[in-house]
Amino acid sequence: MQRRDLFSALLLPFLSGVLPSALAAGSANATRTPLLISEREWQDLAQRRETDPELDLLVRTILERAKKDLTLPLPERKLIGKRLLSVSRELIRRCLGWAFAWRLSGDIVYAERAVAELQAVAAFSDWNPAHYLDVAEMTTGVAITYDWLYEVLTPEQRLQIQQAIIDKGIAQARNGHATYKRDNNWNQVCITGMILGALVVADSQPELMRAMLAPAIAAIPAGLKAYQPDGVYPEGPSYWSYGTTYSVLLLAALRQHRLGDWGIGSAPGFMRSALFYAHSVGPSGKHFNFADGGEGQELAAALVWMARELQQPVLLDAKRALIRQKNGSNDRFATLSALWWPAQRDSAEALETQFAGQGAQPLSFWRSSWQDPDALWFAIKGGGAAHSHAHMDAGSFCLDWAGLRWAKDLGMQDYQSLESRGIDLWNNKQQSPRWKVFRLSAEAHNTLMLDGQPHHVNAMAGMTNSAKDRAQIDLSAVLGVAHAVRTAQFAGTSVRLDDQLSGCQPQQQVRWAMCTTADIRIQGNIALLTQQGKQLRLRFEGAPVSLQIQDISAPRADFDAPNPGTRQLLAFGKIADDGSWQLRCTFEPVISG
């Protein structure tokens, strides 16, 4: 179906005034439709807890956190730089926790505290529309909490909260919003926040709801392009959790209200992206955190929902480990993860040990086992820097073994720490100050550089010849040479990384780099890495190289963040007289005994 036909099919019922009874004008006597979570899902939670120890622990941890949160002060409208985002996100975490605790325990103290929180933000002068993510997330938190507490709210409280949702949130998107046009997480978050807000006030504002549908439906495809074709989210796993969770919130709400799914669930790569995310977590429990991401996991409500939809609870194995560490309640949508948690299946099949996907940031993952905590895991990516939240990390890789991260990505740097120092962070041009930030530069990543020059911003490193145990990353355009190919070969007990360059200028310097927190000892052409009593050997063969160790723990410039305990293993070489260079690095775990 063409996009215009799809748009017409989705929108026609609303333009003609045909809305589900709960949204229709004059339906005051209609049964109120829950926003996201059905009564059945609430009722089933107790039974599922009895048979699932991790789910039970997650719920108990959420309840413990909700009790501790009762002592927190009411929120204030305090911006950090240009953002109110931390206040919006904290409201979601607190209020969903309190509303969840009230519904499970019946203790009115939780409901009263959540209502006080809602009234406090309702009294804000605004929800910072200059940075519209703040508005969208605040609207989301207020809408869901309002829905969960509906029965205990007085008519006056309902009116006050609804009016805040209208005035400070959705009325600004009556005819759409500029953020809808973006092709990244902003599209997903902002559309979802506005529609969730509109749904909870639809009984009193049906015309406003109708007005908001058309621009939202028209803009949804822009955000969903990110998942094409294979589910690799170009902004990295951290932003996958962010954007995809909001798309899942919208999808769940649309289904509750019998409004279809607006093409979200069937969008190319959308559901498969759950595999991308699951594979991105290595046996160390850390992500392949390319782009603006962090190594650490979150509970990721989107993954929980997808695991239930796909009937693949095995996707949540890493999250079960996170819950056992009692870290799950830190996620602001942890309550939704508990409510969406899938039933366990005794005969659940293990996932494939390899994942490859094309797209703006193509990549491959391999692991020797899903069950062995000491499994070998390797990830490598292509792509380029000319994308939302991207780094100069084409060709970069990460490696886990024995439950430890050996080759690491430094990850993002806090945006405010850079913006407050005048860094033009969102300028992606070749000469942008963005690429002077160490963590974002090619110099900080596990890739190649020529003569110390940055990668070409507008170039793309494609992934070719991807197979079950092999992938090639074409770095030619990124490095600006005739031929530069990085080939990863995964053998299960070792990894081989081959770099081949040709058509270069003789005597150009090639820089090979890998970041690690392991101790490094160099012995000729071998680097021996040691951490926690384990050892990994890196053997270099091919062109002559000089192996060096560089401490990168201290900031390079006053705007750079420190990288505690981190160093780089560097291999420097020279392009031969015929313009060629090749190097093989073999990663071999040292098995004692």
Q: What integer is the mean pLDDT of 333-338?
A: 98
Q: Mean of the per-residue pLDDT values for the chain?
A: 93
Please check the confidence at residue 12 and state whether its pLDDT lies above 70: no
Mean pLDDT lowest for which of 46-60, 106-120, 342-356, 401-415?
Answer: 342-356
Tokens 């007085």: give the residue.
154
Choose from 16-25, 466-475, 553-562 the range with maximum mean pLDDT: 553-562
pLDDT attached to residue 593 = 59
Cα 122 to Cα 246: distance, rounded to the nearest angstrom: 22
* Strand-pair partners of 321: none
The 8-class DSSP code of residue 444 comes to G
Task: Measure CA of the first residue to CA of the last residue in the chain; give whole Å.
Answer: 61
pLDDT attached to residue 346 = 57
Cα 446 to Cα 571: distance, rounded to the nearest angstrom: 11
Please check the confidence at residue 264 and state whether its pLDDT lies above 80: yes
Which candidate, 71, 237, 45, 249, places its Cα nearest to that of 144? 249
Rg (CA), the chain: 25
Long-range contacts of 257-265 (CB under 8 A, 24+ apart): 257/20, 257/22, 257/23, 257/33, 257/199, 258/20, 259/20, 260/10, 262/10, 262/216, 262/217, 262/220, 263/6, 263/10, 263/220, 263/221, 263/224, 264/220, 264/224, 265/309
Task: Please check whether the two domains, 3-13+37-340 and 354-590, share a CATH topology.
Answer: no
What are the boundaries of each domain within the chain? 3-13+37-340, 354-590
Please check the confidence at residue 507 and state whether its pLDDT lies above 50: yes
pLDDT attached to residue 218 = 96
pLDDT attached to residue 9 = 45
Spatial neighbors of 580 by CB under 8 A, at least 6 apart, are: 500, 501, 502, 504
Angle, helices 317-324/53-69, rounded to nearest 10 degrees: 50
Q: What integer is the mean pLDDT of 572-592?
A: 96
Q: Are 226 and 183 in contact (CB under 8 A)?
A: yes
Q: What integer is the mean pLDDT of 551-567?
A: 97
Cα 486 to Cα 473: distance, rounded to the nearest angstrom: 5
Please check the confidence at residue 523 and state whether its pLDDT lies above 60: yes
Cα 523 to Cα 504: distance, rounded to the nearest angstrom: 29
CATH 3.40.190.10 correct for 354-590: no
Mean pLDDT lowest for which of 200-209, 303-312, 363-372, 387-396?
Answer: 200-209
543 is written with which tokens?
A: 């062109």
pLDDT attached to residue 349 = 66
Cα dihedral sign, 29-30-32-35 = negative
Please check the confidence at residue 205 and state whether its pLDDT lies above 60: yes
H-assigned helices in 458-505? 476-479
Interval 112-146: pLDDT, tens:
999 999 999 999 999 999 999 999 999 999 999 99
Please check the confidence at residue 260 and state whether its pLDDT lies above 50: yes
Q: HSE-up of 184 (CA within 13 Å, CB side)?
A: 14
pLDDT attached to residue 592 = 79
Cα angle value 423/427/433 (rounded, 5°): 40
What CATH number belongs to 3-13+37-340? 1.50.10.100
Mean pLDDT lowest for which of 1-15, 94-108, 229-243, 537-551?
Answer: 1-15
Exposed, middle or buried, 278 (CB in 10 Å: 0-12/13-18/19+)?
Answer: buried
Q: What integer is the mean pLDDT of 72-81?
A: 98
pLDDT attached to residue 433 = 95
Pairing state between β 546-551 and 519-523 = unpaired
Please check the confidence at residue 390 and state whether its pLDDT lies above 70: yes
pLDDT more than 70, % of the chain? 94
pLDDT attached to residue 28 = 37
Tokens 């070719």: give the residue.
464
Q: What integer is the mean pLDDT of 437-446?
A: 98
pLDDT attached to residue 330 = 87
Please check the confidence at residue 22 and state whether its pLDDT lies above 50: no
pLDDT attached to residue 21 = 37
Please check the confidence at residue 194 and state whether its pLDDT lies above 50: yes
357 is written with which tokens?
A: 């996907």
DSSP 511-542: EEEEEESSEEEEETTEEEEEETTEEEEEEEEE
Which candidate, 345, 373, 585, places its Cα nearest to that of 489? 585
pLDDT attached to residue 355 = 96
What is the model's pTM?
A: 0.94
Please check the confidence at residue 15 and state whether its pLDDT lies above 50: no
